[in-house]
A and B are shown apart, each in its own frame.
Chain A
Amino acid sequence: MALFFNQLINGVHVGSIYALIALGYTMVYGIVKLINFAHGDILMVGAYTIVVMVNMLGLHPVLSIAISVLMCILFGVVIEWVAYRPLRASPKISSLITAIGVSMLLQNVALLIFSPTPKPYPIQVNVAPLQFWEIQISFTTLLTFVVSVVLMVLLQGFVISSKAGKSMRAVSEDTDAAMLMGINVNHTITMTFAVGCALAAVGSLLYCMAYPAVSPTLGSLPGVKAFIAAVLGGIGMIPGAMLGGFILGIAESLTKGYISSQMSDAVVYGILIIVLLFKPAGLLGIGIREKV
């Protein structure tokens, strides 16, 4: 029983990180219908920023975190501006390929600057874990869960009730109509990327606190997982990303605990396939039937 609860807690831990990253995928997909392959690499940008700020420049961690958030936003916005905007009118697959190109570019530039050797992540919280009988909850787990949930709730509120959030929903529903209603589509898309990347920066912080080794390919794995979480829950839906993230995280750690860690990927993909076969638009997604 203790194993079950410990794995469950681990699952919630990684799951909330996946969910946070998945939000970035889902928001971008919702608004420009693009699988932003470079989103995972934004995590890497955030992580290296912290390494540079704390280890090399000796800045205070809190200040470094703020700078890393800004850095991620900057990258996200610039990437959208340079690589995706020129292709907005082209077939979606073209921007998918530039997204892949951007992802490779970021990884390889990081490789040039920082070498493939992993760097230790400087921010750690050393607080004794909570202990209930044999069940352990580390402070990082608690922090991760609370931070993720608070951010997700804030984001949902932002999208539903703020003016900016409303324009985001309008653009995602019908870009042309939104434009005719006087919404600046370009600004809205930029803002979506910015919000998504800010969340990725926080995701990066939480991820690296759990796995404190920073390498150029750091973002690939959580990136793919988060993306799957987004699809699982229903891509384009913010609550879907949360749901997908938690399901994925929990399924993954339970498999690791009870079956084998090698099979965890197979289980994750298996769940994805089964869900998509029965609910082609994801758990919370609403399938749109083509009108004849």
Chain B
Amino acid sequence: MKSKSKSYLLNVIFLALLSIVIFSLISGGVINNYYSSILVTVGIAIIMTVSLNLTTGLLGQLCLGHAGFMSIGAYTAGIITKQLQAAAPDFPFAWSLAIALVAAGLMAAVFGFLIGMPALRLKGDYLAIITLGFGEIIRVIIENLSVTGGSAGLSRITRMSRAFSENTKLSSAIQFGIVFWIMVVVVTGIFTLGRSRHGRAIISIRENEVAAEATGIPTTYYKLLAFTLAAFFAGIAGGLYAHQIGILTPRYFDFNKSIEYLVMVVLGGMGSITGSILSAIVLVTLPEILREFANWRMVIYSLALIIIMIFRPSGLLGTREFSLIKVWDSTANWLKNTFKRKENKPKLPFMPHYDVWEDSPVLETKNLGIRFGGLVAADDINLCLMNNEIVGLIGPNGAGKTTVFNMLTGVYAPSNGDIILLGKSIAGKPTHEITNNGIARTFQNIRLFKSMTVLENIKVAFHTRMKYSPVSGMLRTGQYNSEEKGMDIRARELLRVFDMEEVADDNANSLPYGMQRKLEICRALASNPKVLLLDEPAAGMNPIETQELMNTIKKIRTRFSVAILLIEHDMKLVMGICERIYVLNYGHIIAEGTPKEIANNSEVITAYLGIPENEKQEGHTTC
């Protein structure tokens, strides 16, 4: 811990020294105007790239319209400073710049929100195209407005390199300082956000959206949050750009500009903040370094791009981070050491209290049914789960078992009937809300957050039980620290129950198959459910693992006091641990009873084994 805070301190000192050295080199004239403006361009590119990394890298949604948000910021800021200067010439430029930058960010964020709302319903390449479309529409609109100067552009915006002092060298140095420190703040903000519960929620959407929702993450909210925040920072970058260059033309912000930043993100490594910084530096300076090769430089640039991608397909740094930038941690720790602030008490995740009556069911469905077009996938399903009961849901393939699970967890909205959880109807509610109300599930095909660690997988599920805000996550406040500590303690406790403590820091996808199944159950339990739905937990397990699983399920029931509903084809498991069994066939419940009753039920045997030839001829028909 001590060496950690030492390295944080080093980072701050490094950054401060770097800015001071460059500042004095610029003001002393050693770094001329040309180079100092390249440095500023690098700073702006870093803000753009890191913010785009928030949507593309962390959230995993391809966005091709980032330059559009930059242009909104640039024009907003440019117009504001121009108007302010015209209205009140004595108003200090530094203040009007500050106002303009904040307004630029907010304006871009508003557009990010408005565009994100409809656009984020799409995924992958389609989202890329729709954001490209929005970006281009923004450009065309700016081209046709009079307030923005039309296609001729907005000119005579006060340039930072002139505005702060008569001495242009000093003024350029101040410009560098402003851009540098805004960049540092944005980068650390996104970095720390990425390591908070909100960042984990965003990354879990990238890893597996369905599982994220089922773990209690309001995915729509987090998609919009990431998108809007990215737009906000792009707007600020645009505002800086406007006051660096002094003249804005709509053409500059076309989709090639968006692609330029996307290239930087991918080249640096999607999800790696430091990778983004590195590639922004390389890709801005490379063409400048190659300037003496005149026409060849762009050829070399594009060749370099292709070659790097072929040999390092996941980017320069992949998803790893280069650890010189843990600045905020360092300042916080340094402050803590200086002022001897008391340690934050861990605050354990809030565990909801469920009102359970012994004799009334925890979960009940009434005439539940769903149809897809003309196909009736499930009809008239009446299930009932008592407190602490283990119930099996069995049936031949295609009987509609997983469909029932999907209705219970809100993945599908039922066409008719009702679902009652602890006395309240939850039919048709969004998945994450149902999870918060006490139903957790696992999936037939394992859905883990693969590139996150085992511990992080669990922490995502604590998300809804914690309170600190995104801002508090970015600033690493006391609340952040105590809640994160609490989550850590609870997550490790939970892993200990499943004998998985020693793999806590391994990546989820490096676990053997049986462990992955266990982790999924563990993650479901972390949201502290009252009802646990297990979808074929023994699929793909060998007899020894299945036996172990049976013990685990029994252990879970007593230790976490949950009711368990499980789908399973392994009859040994079902008959061994279930107290009651429902049998589903063609979307209908055909039998209900104790394992013994079910095993001897003739209708069930028919459903599983078919009708003997001789009986068929006697007039039986299959329905």
Contacts and interface: CB of A to CB of B under 8 A. Distances in A.
Nearest to A34: B125
B133 A98 contact: no
Given A87-B310, A97-B309, A280-B126, A112 B140 contact: no
Nearest to B144: A262
Interface string B96-135: 0000000000000000000000110110011011101110
Interface in A235-270: 235, 262-263, 265-266, 269-270
Interface in B477-531: none
B62 A93 contact: yes
Nearest to B131: A273
Interface in A78-119: 83, 86-87, 90-91, 93-98, 100-102, 104-105, 108-109, 111-112
Nearest to A271: B133
A284 to B, nearest CB: 14
A265 B142 CA distance: 13
A180 interface: no
A14 interface: no
Contacts of B45: none
Contacts of B137: 266, 269-270, 273
A97 B130 contact: no
Contacts of B302: 101-102, 104-105, 108
Contacts of B144: 262-263
A266 B140 contact: yes
Nearest to A272: B133
A269 B143 contact: no
A93 B266 contact: yes
A228 interface: yes
B30 interface: no
A100 B305 contact: yes
A35 interface: yes
Given A97-B305, A109-B299, A276 B122 contact: yes
B403 to A, nearest CB: 9
B608 interface: no
Interface residues of B, number: 47
Given A86-B310, A272-B130, A94 B266 contact: yes
A57 interface: no
Most buried by A among B125, B128, B133, B296: B133
A278 B130 CA distance: 12
A265 B309 contact: no
A134 interface: no
Interface in B257-302: 259, 262-263, 266-267, 270, 295-296, 298-299, 301-302
A7 to B, nearest CB: 20
Interface in B298-320: 298-299, 301-303, 305-306, 309-310, 313-315
A263 B263 contact: no
A91 B305 contact: no
Contacts of A273: 118-119, 130, 133-134, 137
B358 to A, nearest CB: 33
B111 to A, nearest CB: 14
Contact of A231 (B126, B255, B296, B303): B126
Contacts of A97: 262-263, 266-267, 305, 309
B309 A94 contact: yes
B136 interface: yes
Contacts of B315: 94
B310 A83 contact: yes
A14 B576 CA distance: 70
A94 B126 contact: no
A110 to B, nearest CB: 10
Interface string A150-193: 00000000000000000000000000000000000000000000
Nearest to B128: A35
Contact of B129 (A108, A228, A292): A228
A119 to B, nearest CB: 17
B141 A266 contact: yes
A277 interface: yes
A202 to B, nearest CB: 25
B306 A102 contact: yes
A265 B130 contact: no
B305 A101 contact: yes
A224 B128 CA distance: 13
Contact of B411 (A93, A109, A277, A292): A292
A219 B137 CA distance: 21
Most buried by A among B121, B141, B296, B302: B302
B126 A276 contact: yes
B314 A91 contact: yes
B313 A91 contact: yes
Given A94-B314, A231-B129, A269 B122 contact: no
A112 B295 contact: yes
Contacts of A33: 125
Contacts of B62: 93
Contacts of A280: 121-122, 126
Contacts of A98: 305-306, 309-310
A100 B301 CA distance: 12
B210 interface: yes
Given A94-B314, A263-B144, A292-B402, A281 B309 contact: no
Contacts of B262: 97
Contacts of B267: 97
Interface in B148-171: 151
A292 B443 contact: yes
Given A35-B125, A112-B296, A263 B130 contact: no
Given A112-B296, A231-B126, A276-B129, A104 B310 contact: no
Nearest to B150: A262
Contacts of A227: 129
Interface string A70-84: 000000000000010
B314 A100 contact: no
Nearest to B209: A290
Contact of A263 (B140, B210, B301): B140
B118 A290 contact: no
6 contacts: A91-B270, A265-B140, A277-B118, A280-B122, A290-B210, A292-B402
Closest 4 A/B residue pairs (Cβ): A90-B313, A104-B302, A101-B305, A269-B133
Given A86-B310, A263-B144, A276-B130, 13 more contacts: A91-B314, A93-B56, A95-B309, A97-B309, A98-B310, A100-B259, A104-B298, A105-B306, A111-B295, A112-B299, A262-B144, A265-B136, A292-B406
